[in-house]
Structure formats: structure tokens, C-alpha cells
């Protein structure tokens, strides 16, 4: 069902954790299928504010690296090793899509951008944002492309 080749974090996450995250997304969609458009809109706003794993990793890595630098300059030079270690892990994540904090964060339920977007666009479909696109027959490809772009920017 899901193409793991395009999402390196999911490809490097244990299957039972991915399944738990997918199940939570499905539960949310089932719940909001019976809610009002206003409630769906509020959930979409929440999803727009949700931090994905890349943002969490970047924020945590930079915070720890700056802490290591500050402690290294102000105290023991061995604190520079913290900065070096954190940046090494961050580079590993950039190259492979995995580093030691990823399994912990995934187990905590921190999602990838594609997982957040999957829920968001399913909710937009429930809200009816794409109804006109599916049934509309535009005269030209340019008009159809415009209609599709307008639908996905709602």
C-alpha cells in the first residue's frame, strides 16, 4: 500500500511502529467522516501546525550542538564532543534517513510530513475540497491544471 522508497524514515522504522501510526491516521479519518466541515477544518489547521520528524530532529540537533559549543567554550573542552556527535548523527540522518533518535521519536508517534499530509488531504477530500475537480471537464489541459492547482491549495 505505501511506497517506502520515497520515505526513508518510514523505510527505516520498525513495521509495527509504522502500522500503529497508519492505524491512528485511519482512526482519525473514520472519526472525522462523521463530523461537521467546521470540525474537519479545525483538524486541518492542527495538522498544518504539527511538527514533522525532520523539524523535531533539526531543532533538537541544533539545540544540543549549541549547548555542546557553549559548554565547550565556557568549561571543559570535552563538551565539543557532544556537538561533534550530534552533527554526525544529523549527517547520518540526512544521508540514510535514520539516526539513533529516530526510533525513539517514531515510537512517541512523531510523524513524517507525508504521513501528516496523508491525513490532511484525506480530510480535505471528506470536506469536499476536491469534489469539483473530479467531476469538472475543463476545455483545455491548462484550464484543468489550473482547477487542480486551485483544489490542492484550498
Sequence spans of domains, the chain: 52-110
Query: Would you state the cell numbers that stand for residue 32, as one nine-digit string?
Result: 472525522
What are the start-end ranges of the E strands in the chain? none
Q: What is the pLDDT of residue 25?
A: 96
Q: Residue 56 pLDDT more than 60?
A: yes
Query: What pTM value is reported for the model?
Result: 0.83
> Residues for the chain: how many in total?
154
How far, in Å, CA of 22 to CA of 115, rounded? 8
Confidence of residue 142 (pLDDT cuts 50, 70, 90): confident
Q: Residue 55 pLDDT more than 90?
A: yes
Q: Calculate the alpha carbon distances from 101 to 58, 61, 105 in Å.
A: 11, 10, 6
How far, in Å, CA of 71 to CA of 80, rounded? 8
Place of cell 511506497: 3
Question: By three-state DSSP, how is residue 51 classified?
Answer: coil
Q: What is the pLDDT of residue 137?
A: 60
Query: Would you state the cell numbers that stand for residue 52, as one nine-digit string?
Result: 514533522
Span 66-71, average pLDDT: 97
76 φ, ψ (degrees, to nearest 5): -75, 130
**How big is the chain by its Cα radius of gyration, in Å?**
20
Quick check: 40 and 123 in contact, CB under 8 A? Answer: yes
Query: Would you state the cell numbers that stand for residue 25, as one nine-digit string?
Result: 491516521
Query: Would you state the cell numbers that stand for residue 93, as one nine-digit string?
Result: 540522518
Confidence of residue 151 (pLDDT cuts 50, 70, 90): low
More confident residue, 28 or 147: 28
Amino acid at each position: 500500500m505505501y511506497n517506502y522508497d520515497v520515505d526513508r524514515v518510514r523505510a527505516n522504522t520498525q513495521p509495527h511502529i509504522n502500522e500503529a501510526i497508519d492505524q491512528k491516521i485511519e482512526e482519525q479519518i473514520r472519526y472525522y467522516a462523521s463530523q461537521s466541515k467546521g470540525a474537519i477544518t479545525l483538524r486541518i489547521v492542527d495538522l498544518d501546525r504539527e511538527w514533522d520528524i525532520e523539524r523535531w530532529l533539526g531543532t533538537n540537533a541544533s539545540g544540543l550542538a549549541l549547548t555542546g559549543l557553549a559548554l565547550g567554550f565556557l568549561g571543559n573542552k570535552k563538551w565539543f564532543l557532544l556537538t561533534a556527535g550530534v552533527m554526525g548523527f544529523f549527517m547520518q540522518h540526512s544521508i540514510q534517513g535514520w539516526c539513533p533518535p529516530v526510533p525513539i521519536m517514531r515510537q512517541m508517534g512523531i510523524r513524517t510530513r507525508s504521513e501528516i499530509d496523508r491525513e490532511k488531504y484525506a480530510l480535505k477530500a471528506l470536506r469536499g475540497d476536491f469534489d469539483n475537480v473530479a467531476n469538472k471537464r475543463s476545455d483545455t489541459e491548462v484550464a484543468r491544471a489550473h482547477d487542480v492547482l486551485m483544489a490542492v491549495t484550498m
